C-alpha cells in the first residue's frame, strides 16, 4: 500500500497564485528558455519586477523621469507620466530591458537606409501619449511608431548570434500598420546596415514591403519574419496562404528559430489561443545556417529602413527555442492582462456633424482663424463682419476620424469632400482619395490646449506632432525637431486654438 502525496489547501493556493502571478518571462524561464531581453511600456514582464519600465523626456525643460509599474509585476504608472508631462509634450527616450541583461532600447542611430528628415540620420523618438490603452482597467501607454521612428541596441548581450536558437514574441496594435519597410521587433545587425541574408531574425508586422517578398492570405497585415533581404511568411520567399490577415485590435505575434527550423505563430492578444502559421525548415539562399548578430531593433528594418508604422506594447527575446506549450502559457498570461482600448482625446469634446472655427491663441495672432486658400491651410483675420464666402473658408465640419474612430477629421464647409490632412508635415486641404494613408493623415486627436487655452490637435499618425501656425501657415510640428517649424519658442501657444461654433 502507498499513499498519494497530498497537497494541503495552502499549497494549492500557492500553486494557483504562482500560475496567476507569473509574468511572461517567468513562464519562459520555467520552460527552460529564459528572456534575455524584455521590453514593455505597459507592464512588468516578471512577477517580481518593480524597476523602471521606460524613461520619458518632456519638451518644456528637457527633464527626464522613469516610469515603473504601480507594484511589482504590475501595470505601468501612467498617472506618473501624465503628471510629469502635464501642459507639455513627452517623448519615450529609453525602453528598459527588464531581463537584467541591460539590453535597453534607445533612439536608433543612423543606418544604411535611413530616410527620415533628421540631417544626422537619427530616427524620431515616439510620443509618450500616442498609444493609450488599459490593462485590466488601468491606463498605460504603448509605443506608437510613426514612419521614421525607431529604437535600437547595437551592443546587446546574451541575445542569439549565429545559428543559435531564440524565441520572440510581441504584442502589437493589429490595426496600425502600413506597407513600408519595416515595422520589426527582434534580432538585427550590430552595424545598423544590411550585412546579408540571415543576419536578422525579427518579428515583422504589416502589409509587406512592396518588394515582392513574403505575403500571406488576403491583403494583410501579416505576421512575418524579417530574416534580412526578405520578409518571410514561410519557407518560400513568396505567399503562404496559411499566414492569415490579422484583424484583431491587439495581436500576439511570435517568431522563433533554431538550426534549420523556424516558426511563425499568432493570435488575438485579448482572447483565445495561438495558432501556428508556419513551422518548418529554413528558406534556401543564406538562411541555413543563420548568421544572427544579436542587436535589437524596434520599429525599423535591420539597415534602419524606417518607413513603416505600428504600435508595440510588450515583447521579449529568449535564449533557446521555446516550446509551443510555453508560448501557449504566455498567450494565456497576455490575455489575462486584458488589453483594451481607451480614449485618445482629452479636454473639450467635439460634436460630430457640428461646424467649428478655430482661433489662434498666440498673442500676435488672436484675431486669426484657421482657414484655407485653395489647398493651403493658413490663418486669416476673420470676424462676423466678413462675407459668407470668407467665413466659409474658416469653417469646418467635424467628422469621426477617417483613420481612427476615437479621433476626428475636418471637412471644409466650402469644399465638400475635402479634408484637412498633413502631407510632408504641412496641413493641406485635399479630396479624400479613400486610401489608408489619407485616412491616417486626416485624423487628429484633440487635447486640452498646451498653453491652457482651447485645444491642441495631435496628429493621429504622427502623435509627436500638433497643428501649429507658423508665419500664418499650418504645419504638424513637434516641440523641437529637425524642421524649422519644430522650433520650441512659442510652441505651446502656436499649437493651442480656441474652438467655437463655425462662422458658417
Helix (H) or strand (E) holding 291: none
**Contact string (CB under 6 A) for ligand NAG, positions 183-222, x = contact:** ----------------------------------------
- Distance CA(39)–CA(102), nearest Å, equals 11
User: Which alpha helices (H) appear in 67-166, and where do they start and end?
Assistant: 78-84
Known catalytic membership, residue 327: no
Please, which residues bridge with residue 445 across strands?
A: 458
Q: How far is the CB of 504 from ligand NAG (least distance, A)?
A: 13
Say which of 97, 228, 243, 327 is annotated catalytic: 228
**Contact string (CB under 6 A) for ligand NAG, positions 337-376, x = contact:** ----------------------------------------
Smaller CB distance to ligand NAG: residue 281 or 381? 381
- Is residue 504 a contact point for ligand NAG (CB under 6 A)? no
Task: Please choose, from the candidates 118, 109, 117, 143, the residue with its C-alpha nearest in 3D space to the C-alpha of residue 129.
Answer: 143
Q: How far is the CB of 60 from ligand NAG (least distance, A)?
A: 34
- Helix, strand, coil abundance in the chain, percent, nearest 5: 10, 35, 50
List the grid coordinates of 281: 525548415
- Distance CA(406)–CA(115), nearest Å, equals 30
Say which of 123, 173, 303, 411 is annotated catalytic: 303
Smaller CB distance to ligand NAG: residue 41 or 393? 393
Hey, is 32 helix, strand or coil? Answer: coil
Smaller CB distance to ligand NAG: residue 355 or 399? 355
Q: How far is the CB of 367 from ligand NAG (least distance, A)?
A: 9
| Sign of the dihedral through C-alpha 14, 20, 22, 27 | positive
Known catalytic membership, residue 494: no
Q: How far is the CB of 90 from ligand NAG (least distance, A)?
A: 36
**Contact string (CB under 6 A) for ligand NAG, positions 269-308, x = contact:** ----------------------------------------
Contacts of 167 by beta carbon, 8 Å cutoff, 6+ apart: 28, 33, 254, 256, 316, 317, 318, 320, 321, 322, 327
Q: How far is the CB of 395 from ligand NAG (least distance, A)?
A: 12
Q: How far is the CB of 149 from ligand NAG (least distance, A)?
A: 37
Smaller CB distance to ligand NAG: residue 94 or 382? 382
Write out the binding residues for ligand NAG, residues 139-168 only, by CB under 6 A: none
Please, which residues bridge with residue 372 across strands?
A: 377
Smaller CB distance to ligand NAG: residue 380 or 415? 380
Of the CA atoms within 13 Å of residue 233, those in its CB half-sphere come to: 24
Query: What distances in angstroms separate CA 334 from CA 115, 255, 373, 407, one per listed residue?
Result: 34, 16, 50, 27
Question: Which residue's Cβ has the minimum distance to ligand NAG?
Answer: 386
Asked whether the beta carbons of 268 and 141 are under 8 A apart, the reply is no
- Distance CA(491)–CA(469), nearest Å, equals 9
Smaller CB distance to ligand NAG: residue 17 or 381? 381
Write out the binding residues for ligand NAG, residues 375-404 only, by CB under 6 A: 380-383, 385-386, 390
Smaller CB distance to ligand NAG: residue 85 or 377? 377
- Annotate 403-456 with DSSP letters as a single string: S-TTSEEEEESSSTTEEEEEETTEEEEEE----HHHHHHT-EEEEE-TTSSSEE
Q: Which residues bind ligand NAG (CB under 6 A)?
A: 380-383, 385-386, 390
Q: Report the catalytic residues.
A: 228, 303
Amino acid at each position: 500500500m502507498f499513499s498519494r502525496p497530498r497537497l494541503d489547501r495552502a499549497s494549492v493556493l500557492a500553486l494557483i497564485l504562482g500560475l496567476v502571478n507569473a509574468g511572461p518571462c517567468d513562464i519562459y524561464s520555467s520552460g527552460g528558455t529564459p528572456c534575455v531581453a524584455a521590453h514593455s511600456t505597459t507592464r512588468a514582464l516578471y512577477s517580481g519586477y518593480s524597476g523602471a519600465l521606460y524613461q520619458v523626456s518632456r519638451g518644456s525643460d528637457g527633464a527626464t523621469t522613469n516610469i515603473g509599474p504601480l507594484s511589482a509585476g504590475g501595470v505601468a504608472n501612467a498617472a506618473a507620466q501624465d503628471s510629469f508631462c502635464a501642459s507639455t509634450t513627452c517623448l519615450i527616450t529609453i525602453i528598459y530591458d527588464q531581463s537584467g541583461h541591460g539590453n535597453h532600447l534607445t533612439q536608433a542611430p543612423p543606418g544604411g537606409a535611413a530616410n527620415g528628415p533628421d540631417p544626422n540620420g537619427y530616427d524620431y523618438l515616439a510620443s509618450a501619449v500616442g498609444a493609450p490603452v488599459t490593462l485590466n482597467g488601468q491606463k498605460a501607454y504603448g509605443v506608437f511608431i510613426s514612419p521614421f521612428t525607431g529604437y535600437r541596441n547595437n551592443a546587446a548581450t546574451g541575445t542569439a548570434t549565429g545559428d543559435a536558437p531564440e524565441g520572440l514574441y510581441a504584442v502589437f496594435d493589429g490595426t496600425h500598420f502600413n506597407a513600408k519597410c519595416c515595422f520589426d521587433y527582434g534580432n538585427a545587425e550590430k552595424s545598423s546596415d544590411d550585412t546579408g541574408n540571415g543576419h536578422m531574425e525579427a518579428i515583422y508586422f504589416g502589409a509587406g514591403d512592396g518588394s515582392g517578398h513574403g505575403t500571406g492570405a488576403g491583403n494583410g497585415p501579416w505576421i512575418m519574419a524579417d530574416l534580412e533581404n526578405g520578409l518571410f511568411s514561410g519557407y518560400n520567399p513568396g505567399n503562404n496562404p496559411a499566414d492569415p490577415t490579422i484583424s484583431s485590435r491587439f495581436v500576439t505575434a511570435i517568431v522563433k528559430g533554431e538550426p534549420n527550423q523556424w516558426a511563425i505563430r499568432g493570435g488575438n492578444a485579448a482572447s483565445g489561443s495561438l495558432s501556428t502559421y508556419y513551422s518548418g525548415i529554413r528558406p534556401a539562399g543564406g538562411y541555413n545556417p543563420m548568421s544572427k548578430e544579436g542587436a535589437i531593433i524596434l520599429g525599423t528594418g535591420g539597415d534602419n529602413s524606417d518607413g513603416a508604422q505600428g504600435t508595440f506594447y510588450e515583447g521579449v527575446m529568449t535564449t533557446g527555442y521555446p516550446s509551443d506549450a510555453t508560448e501557449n502559457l504566455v498567450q494565456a498570461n497576455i490575455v489575462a492582462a486584458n488589453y483594451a482600448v481607451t480614449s485618445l482625446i482629452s479636454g473639450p469634446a467635439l460634436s460630430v456633424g457640428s461646424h467649428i472655427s478655430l482661433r489662434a491663441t498666440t498673442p500676435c495672432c488672436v484675431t486669426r482663424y484657421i482657414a484655407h486658400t485653395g489647398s493651403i491651410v493658413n490663418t486669416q483675420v476673420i470676424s462676423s463682419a466678413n462675407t459668407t464666402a470668407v467665413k466659409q473658408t474658416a469653417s469646418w465640419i467635424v467628422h469621426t476620424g477617417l483613420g481612427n474612430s476615437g479621433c476626428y477629421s475636418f471637412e471644409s464647409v466650402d469644399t465638400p469632400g475635402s479634408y484637412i490632412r498633413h502631407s510632408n508635415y504641412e496641413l493641406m486641404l485635399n479630396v479624400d482619395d479613400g486610401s489608408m494613408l489619407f485616412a491616417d493623415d486626416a485624423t487628429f486627436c484633440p487635447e486640452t490646449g498646451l498653453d491652457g487655452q482651447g485645444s491642441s490637435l495631435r496628429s493621429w499618425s504622427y502623435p509627436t506632432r500638433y497643428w501649429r501656425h507658423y508665419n500664418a501657415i499650418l504645419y504638424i510640428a513637434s516641440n523641437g525637431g529637425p524642421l524649422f517649424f519644430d522650433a520650441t519658442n512659442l510652441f505651446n501657444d502656436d499649437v493651442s486654438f480656441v474652438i467655437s461654433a463655425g462662422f458658417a
